[in-house]
Structure 1
Amino acid sequence: MADDKRGREKQARDAERRQQERDIETELERGDEREPPVDVVERDAFEVDLDAIQFPATGAEVVAEVGDHTVESAANRYTVRDLVPETDAERFDSPAAVRVQVRRPTVAAAMTRVIEASETLPNAEFGWSQRNAYELTFAALVAADAQDDDAGVTAVCDWVVERVRKKNALPTSREVRRHAASFCRENGYAVRDDEWLGI
């Protein structure tokens, strides 16, 4: 492959795609969900309709086909529309990628809001590593408070969306982690230095 800008961009896209595939495989193999499992009966109907979609598909296409299905966690009820960004920029290579997305509904709902807010920015790049860091931060917030897993996620997600509106830029993943760590400490949640939020 030529060592020019196009070649480097293709290598970066390929590396990102491979990382996404590895992450999906890991998520599917792991049975240790941080959130309670979703309702099985509704999931069966969702699975049938999801398998009928032609993949690869955009987030908008997935939402158009299965957006009205509901996914329940122990704390809340979500529609797939709440969990999958309704945008053409978001692409899913397989039904497994969508399943991974809806498996952790609290994190998926927050990421959907952030991704849709980032779509309003001109020339905004929300790369895979930054998105992964955001997801890890939201997952750490869920784990920090087992009683009310939405409180921290909602607060940090609201902060990110507000920053996008006010500053016309996504905060860095480090800024998001710092804000999440501050939220945890202000609300009495223990954050050790060796944890993701221990920044």
Structure 2
Amino acid sequence: MADNKNGREAQARNEERRQRERAIAEELERADESEPPVDPTELAYFESELETLEFPATAAEVVATVGGHEIESVDGTYTVVDLLPDAEVESFDSPAEVRTRVQRPTIAGAMKRVVEAAGEHQSATFGTSQRDGYERTFRELRTIDADDDDEGIEVIADWIIERIHEKETLPGSRDVRRRAAEFCRSNGYSVRNDEWLGI
């Protein structure tokens, strides 16, 4: 590249993108996930698109800005609108937080459905720890049920949504874990008492 202002700016952008790709790749390696990987380059470009937003940003703002962006994983191609709820109740503090959410498409899609169902009922509000508990339960199901088309994640997401519609409130995190453990055991998956689902 030419040693002028444009060349230096291009080099700086390329270096920043490479650093972002390395950070994403390291994070994906550290995460003990069975979710099919999303290419770190894909996530780095996506994260750079998010820089047009002012953070903290709601999920609805993210969807409005980059909802049509496609993210390819080993399982298939998803748009951001498939993975994030078009809702004000969920917010993100940084582009990295959005990237972390969409790098697990199966779990993100299930959480989108739950958040949108909760948004239909004023009394069904999420606390951060409850949301994290639901997501961790989905991650555990993904690990256990990785070979069965994520049936467990769909079953538990459906169960949560049914409870929201019936009782107009979110089931507790322990109830969700208990239901997930019942699903696992009834389908021949072992769940030990010292595991997250082992209630």
Give the shorter-chain TM-score range: 0.7 to 0.9
Tell me how far apart the structure 1 counterparts of residues 113 and 159 of structure 2 sit (CA, whole Å). Answer: 11
In structure 2, distance between residues paired with 1:78 and 1:194:
35
1:190 corresponds to: 190
State how 1:49-198 maps to structure 2 within 5 Å: 49-148=49-148, 150-198=150-198
Q: Deviation digits for residues 138-194 of structure 1, max 9, x if unmatched?
A: 000000022135211011001111111122121111111111111111111121111
Equivalent in the alignment of 2:30: 32
Work out the CA distance in 2 between the residues paired with 1:149 and 1:137. Answer: 16
Q: Partner letter of residue 69 of structure 1?
A: H
Counterpart of 1:72 in 2: which secondary structure? strand
Find the counterpart in structure 2 of residue 24 from structure 1: none
TM-score with structure 2 setting the length: 0.79
Counterparts of 2:122 and 2:64, CA distance in 1: 25
Give the superposition deviation at 1:109: 1.1
Cα pair 1:142 1:149 within 8 Å, conserved: no
Equivalent pair of 2:142/2:152 in contact (CA under 8 Å): yes
Instruction: List structure 1 runs of 4+ shifted beyond 4 angstroms.
Output: none
**How far has the Cα of 1:116 moved from its partner?**
0.9
1:140/1:196 contact within 8 Å kept: yes
2:84–2:109 contact (8 Å) kept in structure 1: yes
**Deviation, structure 1 residue 97:** 1.1
Residues 58 and 92, structure 2, Cα contact 8 Å, conserved in 1: yes
User: Contact 1:163/1:170 (CA < 8 Å) preserved in 2?
Assistant: yes
The separation in 1 between residues aligned to 2:76 and 2:127, in whole angstroms, is 29
Deviations 1:42-69 (A, max 9, x none): 4454233212222221111100111111
Give the CA RMSD over aligned residues: 2.0
Whether the 8 Å contact between 1:42 and 1:69 is mirrored in structure 2 is no
Range with bigger deviation, 107-116 or 146-155: 146-155
- Which amino acid counterpart does residue 102 of structure 1 have in structure 2? V
Unpaired stretches in structure 1, ≥5 consecutive residues: 1-27
Question: What is the TM-score of this pair, normalised by structure 1?
Answer: 0.79
Which residues of structure 2 form unaligned runs of 5+? Answer: 1-25
Q: Are the equivalent residues in 2 in contact too, given 1:59–1:91 (CA < 8 A)?
A: yes
